[in-house]
Amino acid sequence: MTQHDAIEVIIAKRDGGTLSDSQIDWVIDAYTRGEVAHEQMSALAMAILLNGMDRREIARWTQAMIASGERMDFSALSRPTTDKHSTGGVGDKITLPLTPLVAACGLAVPQLSGRGLGHTGGTLDKLESIPGWEAFLSNQEMFDQLDDFGAVVCAAGSGLAPADKKLYALRDVTGTVEAIPLIASSIMSKKIAEGTGSLVLDVKVGSGAFMKDIDKARELAETMVALGKDAGVTTVALLTGMDTPLGFTAGNAIEVTESLEVLAGGGPADVVELTLELAREMLAAAGVTDVDPAEKLRDGSAMDVWRKMITRQKGDPDAPMAVAKESHVVTAETSGTLTRLDAMSVGLAAWRLGAGRSKQGEAVQAGAGVVWHARPGDLVAAGQPLFTLLTDDEWRFERALAALEGGWAVGDGAGFTPTPLVRGRIS
């Protein structure tokens, strides 16, 4: 590998230049090994945020991060692999019903997931509210589980794109989280290294999403789809709304319960709609066009796979879910139509109630969260419950209520039109 100097690489990007393949390969490798200091990589990340990267640079950066660790190989499985990634939102429990549903349709879904940070929930935190469930599997355990019934949701191993783990933590504390080249390469390096045959991206846009602006969300989606294509992974992205939280719950155990309603053939209409939209995209990306995922919800096949998946990872699918010790109900002051329910306000409230964490490694409460009893467009009456706040610590209610203040509106409903859940598709 050609030797370079960190200052040379920083200055090249600071001055608006493009980095060569060898500069990118060297700086990622050197940073992973500790030869490039955190403050130097911070400066480079800021230069990338301000000056961007072209498609070649982003592709090379992504490949260098993949090369920093191991690559998984599922080619010997008896069924094709597909995966989904969401950029995160409030009440986004879609992975929970989606993974067993797509597996019930004949595919293998190696869903490597993460934990929540701040107002966005984490899939592993939700599943760990199921008594006994374990997030960590060896590569062989993953393979065996996928080969047996096609569904795994687990934590990514330490050997997968270790450069990304270091850079992700650095971006979080240096004001460079928003750099689209770094977001795209972070997501795609892990997904490509994971070894899936096809990938569907759920890129959220709106107040409760990382991307507030539709144009920025589209740019991120297009960048990630291009990275997938360059790596030989069939990749499709949906742009989906996150101004309003998904379903009726934001938390851990309460989101699992809502997901089980979907797997049982019921559940909130928006959660069912997005689960089926993503399932159909995953099936199509893997070349499966003769299976209707809606039928797999109706006939119980998806629920059967869920029970196998939870049991194999030492969870008890029949155990009662955690219930918070304290609750507080917020009622409507006037009658009318609920015209707005802000996802960010709900997400912050759930976080402050103990459902989320403010720093890596912090414990979360299984039973904490927010339940809302109406969605935009619904009629509400004065005195009717709008929210139920759940926590083990009564002192948390005050800050959660402050987060919700101004986060909803009740009016006469004139001119109210619901916004579509799916805002666009990139392929």
The active-site residue out of 25, 164, 230, 243 is 164
pTM of the model: 0.93
- Residue 4 designated active-site: no
The active-site residue out of 126, 171, 352, 423 is 171
The active-site residue out of 85, 115, 119, 204 is 85
Domains in the chain, CATH or no CATH each = 6-52 (1.20.970.10), 83-157+177-312 (3.40.1030.10), 326-411 (3.90.1170.30)
**Tens-digit pLDDT profile for residues 378-392:** 999 999 999 999 999
State the burial class of residue 313 (Cβ atoms within 10 Å of its Cβ: 0-12, 13-18, 19+). buried
**Tens-digit pLDDT profile for residues 83-106:** 999 998 999 999 999 999 999 999
Alpha-carbon distance of 25 to 261, in angstroms, equals 47
- Amino acid at residue number 298: R
What is the rounded average pLDDT of the residues 198-221? 94
Alpha-carbon distance of 115 to 193, in angstroms, equals 19
Lowest mean pLDDT among 108-112, 154-158, 351-355, 409-413: 154-158
Question: What pLDDT is attached to residue 156?
Answer: 84
Lowest mean pLDDT among 25-39, 40-54, 161-175, 294-308: 161-175
**pLDDT-above-90 percentage for the chain:** 84
Is residue 361's pLDDT more than 90?
no
Cβ atoms of 217 and 344 within 8 Å: the answer is no
Cβ atoms of 196 and 107 within 8 Å: the answer is no
- Residue 190 designated active-site: yes
Token pair 């008594």 is at which residue? Answer: 131
Sign of CA dihedral 286, 290, 295, 300: negative
Confidence band of 123 (pLDDT split at 50, 70, 90): very high
The active-site residue out of 84, 190, 191, 296 is 190
Give the residue with greater pLDDT, 88 vs 158: 88
Question: 383: number of CA atoms within 13 Å, CB side?
Answer: 0
Alpha-carbon distance of 301 to 185, in angstroms, equals 35
- Residue 85 designated active-site: yes
Question: What pLDDT is attached to residue 274?
Answer: 98
The active-site residue out of 68, 86, 186, 345 is 186
Token pair, residue 297, equals: 């919800």
Sign of CA dihedral 295, 296, 299, 303: negative
Give the DSSP letter of residue 354.
I
Alpha-carbon distance of 290 to 287, in angstroms, equals 9
Question: What pLDDT is attached to residue 117?
Answer: 66
Strands in 336-341's sheet, in edge-to-edge order, are 379-380, 336-341, 408-411
- Residue 325 designated active-site: no
Lowest mean pLDDT among 167-176, 331-340, 402-411: 167-176
Question: What pLDDT is attached to residue 363?
Answer: 86
Alpha-carbon distance of 317 to 150, in angstroms, equals 18
